[in-house]
Amino acid sequence: MTTLTVEPYVLPAALIGQENPLPVFRGDRDDSPIGLDAAIPQEDRRYMGWQTAFRVLPHRMQDAYSRNRSERDIGSLVLENGVLRAAFLPGWGGKLASLIHKPTGRELLHRNPVCQPANLALRNAWTSGGIEWNAGQPGHHYLTCSPVFSAQVTGPDGAPCLRIYEWDRVKGFSWQVDFWLPHDSPVLLARTRIVNPHPYEIAMYWWTNIAVDEREDVRVLVPAETALCNPYMRSLEVVPLPKLTGSDHPRDLTYSTQAPHAADFFSRIPHDRRKWVAALDGDGAGFFETSTDRLRGRKLFCWGMGPGGRQWQSFLAAPGHAYIEIQAGLARTQMECLPMPPNTHWTWTEAFGYLETDPAKVHGDDWPTAWGTVADEIEHIVPRGELTRLDRALAATSAAPPVRILARGSGWGALERKRKQRCGERDAIPPELTFDEDCMGPDEAPWQMLLTEGALPYRGPDSDPGALMTQPEWEPLLAASLTTGQGDHWLAWWHLGNMRMEARDIRGACAAWQESLKRERTGWALRNLAVAAQREGNEEEWLRLMAEAWATGPQVAALAIEYAAAMATASRFPDLLDFIRALPETLRCNERLMMQWARAALETGDIEGIEHLFEHDFATIREGEVTLTDLWFAYHERRLAKELGAPLDDALRRRVRKEYPPPQCIDFRMAVAEQ
């Protein structure tokens, strides 16, 4: 019998903290430059970099967490039958945190023993482990550390299914995943549906990100002879599977512990082959994923065996809890989006499960035999035609209303429904996705008042300006409210400027922020004008406005960090030192400001006390960031040059790198050129 229950999920967890109130505007390009090796065929190039540039608004950044953890019940929803037990975390993006194969008692996923946010997602905060669902924009999803909706629905066999779903605020579409675990089924089924409700095309992205344990005997298998390799700091290139050739010591790319540094491997599975990926141990046993054909891409990500990769493994979980990621996506790589036609929906079904097969064949030198053996076993467990049939059976479940709501996400989907109704627009959000008004809270309330009462409510300039809105349909509503006395205040003009800036109307944005200043002088508007000055290349105006924003207030940590970074970028290091020294202790101990202080001190020749910086347990180091190791080497270069009375030249730098390797706790370097 299949059951769906609400259960505790207790582990050491750090709090996310308050959202950063400062909007992070997208750049002036939608596409990203991608380095491509000349040998990459044209069919693999078509959408490379298309619509992949960073964007986060209207979401705000989640960057106020620390590494202070305590035992917390973060709550779970458990879907279980006689074979599998799946535990989901509705408060953390609906992540599938654990998948246990009950006959063997084996955990099939990398189950993180802690809940520790780190700076790897689109909004900064992200936690490793389990299976996460990344929709809409390249990167770890906006809601990976936020609640999503969870509901019970009825499966094709009458058994309870679990649905997770949300409204995407960036591109304006709904996504859902319906999980079905039929009685005694050896696989967990997950049917995804994405709906584009617009009369225009949108750029779509999806990758299912699966973490499994990393060990020397674990081999990742896919039905492909080549892969697109993305080694950090180098161009994407075609490589053979399973081994890199042309070396005295060829490495087998299908064993992650043979990778010296972090890398992505996107498998080039032929169109007519079944799509799947598996991670099997020395006994030929482990986890597999397969899907219907729409989910084309398969990927292996590994941190590599360098000191930086090992540090990341411990940093995200705990020592001895190494993992790799095997992923499945809409496109062949994560460097591309796909055009989704107007007024359409895309669906596919994935199956997750356990398999055992001949270890001699799986780990043999004959690669076609190795992956072919796994393909045969997957076909035995869940035949390709049967998965297609199950996908069709789940179509009715995907369109069924919920039996009960188990957890609520944000109120933005409900607000969008209300806006469409009030503006006389067709509501193309699937009615079976329950976005009820009860889920609307303080974030949505001001925008609901704009909709129903014609004006945003006033807030004092020292208050948090509140949740952001950049959806284009809201701009005329906000602009109309400014003609009334009730709606004409600094905050309304500030939000209007945000909308225009995100729409790349920098002149219109600055005009709105200037109007905001006329109503009331705030650091919020001055800071945004500073960002605009920086975008236009006016460094002096950027710094002047940042200084005035700080002086005007409110003097929050996010603004102090940006102002310090601006001074560092402009090489105003004496001013930066004075600024940080004058801060109250609560801000001086902010780790981003600590790093800026250390850099300024080094640049001004004041190295006293910098060594204590490296004792701090840093929380917000960004994936790919090398600030700490750069500071470490710079400190020892200057210290040694001073002690020896020697010039700070290349010879001394080489000596420092040889004789003073950084401690592992600060070494986050991921690429060959960094080490």
What is the CA 40 to chain-centroid distance, rounded?
A: 27
pLDDT mean over 28-34? 95
The reported pLDDT for the residue numbered 245 is 65
Rg (CA), the chain: 26
pLDDT mean over 304-326? 94
Q: What is the DSSP string of 99-117?
A: EEETTTTEE-S---SSB--
Task: Say which amino acid occupies 523.
Answer: G
- Which range is least confidently modeled, 67-76, 478-487, 572-581? 478-487
Q: What are phi and psi of 559, to 5 degrees?
A: -70, -40
The reported pLDDT for the residue numbered 674 is 62
pLDDT over 90 for what percent of the chain? Answer: 94
Tokens 């065996």 found at = 305
Please state, in angstroms and as integers, the Cα–Cα distance from residue 669 to each residue in 94, 120, 476, 544, following that order. 30, 14, 47, 35
Cα torsion angle, 556, 562, 566, 568, sign: positive
All residues at 6 or more sequence positions from 242 whose CB lies less than 8 Å from its CB, including other chains:
252, 253, 254, 367, 370
The reported pLDDT for the residue numbered 591 is 97
Q: What is the pLDDT of residues 368-420, one digit of tens each?
A: 999 999 999 999 999 999 999 999 999 999 999 999 999 999 999 999 999 99
| Bridge partners of residue 348, in order along the sequence | 192
Q: How confident is the model at residue 205 (pLDDT cuts 50, 70, 90)?
A: very high
All residues at 6 or more sequence positions from 354 whose CB lies less than 8 Å from its CB, including other chains:
101, 104, 106, 108, 186, 285, 286, 287, 288
pLDDT over 70 for what percent of the chain? Answer: 99
189 versus 484: the higher-pLDDT residue is 189
The reported pLDDT for the residue numbered 671 is 77
Q: What is the pLDDT of residues 652-669, one digit of tens each?
A: 999 999 999 999 999 999
How many CA atoms within 13 Å lie on the side-chain side of 172?
A: 21
Tally Cβ neighbours within 10 Å of residue 647. Answer: 9
The CATH class that applies to domain 3-53+74-404 reads: mainly beta
- Map out the domains of the chain as residue ranges: 3-53+74-404, 607-675
**For residue 62, which of 92, 25, 21 has the smallest C-alpha distance?**
21
Residue 525 has pLDDT above 60, yes or no: yes
Residue 673 has pLDDT above 70, yes or no: no
Q: What is the pLDDT of residues 246-293, one digit of tens each?
A: 556 678 999 999 998 899 999 999 999 999 999 999 999 999 999 999
The reported pLDDT for the residue numbered 670 is 87
Tally Cβ neighbours within 10 Å of residue 515. Answer: 18
Q: What is the pLDDT of residues 608-628, one digit of tens each?
A: 999 999 999 999 999 989 999
Q: How confident is the model at residue 484 (pLDDT cuts 50, 70, 90)?
A: confident
All residues at 6 or more sequence positions from 453 whose CB lies less than 8 Å from its CB, including other chains:
none
- The angle formed by the CA atoms of residues 585, 587 and 593, to the nearest 5 degrees, is 120
Q: Distance between CA 662 and CA 665 in Å, rounded?
A: 8
pLDDT mean over 167-179? 98
SS3 471: coil
Q: What is the pLDDT of residues 225-251, one digit of tens each?
A: 999 998 776 789 999 999 876 556 678
Mean confidence (pLDDT) of the chain: 96
In contact, 100 and 183? CB cutoff 8 Å: no
pLDDT mean over 500-522? 98
Task: Say which amino acid occupies 423.
Answer: C
- The angle formed by the CA atoms of residues 28, 169 and 59, to the nearest 5 degrees, is 65
Tokens 């344990």 found at = 213
Residue 672 has pLDDT above 90, yes or no: no
Q: Distance between CA 395 and CA 391 in Å, rounded?
A: 6
The reported pLDDT for the residue numbered 244 is 74
**For residue 582, which of 572, 574, 591, 592 has the smallest C-alpha distance?**
574
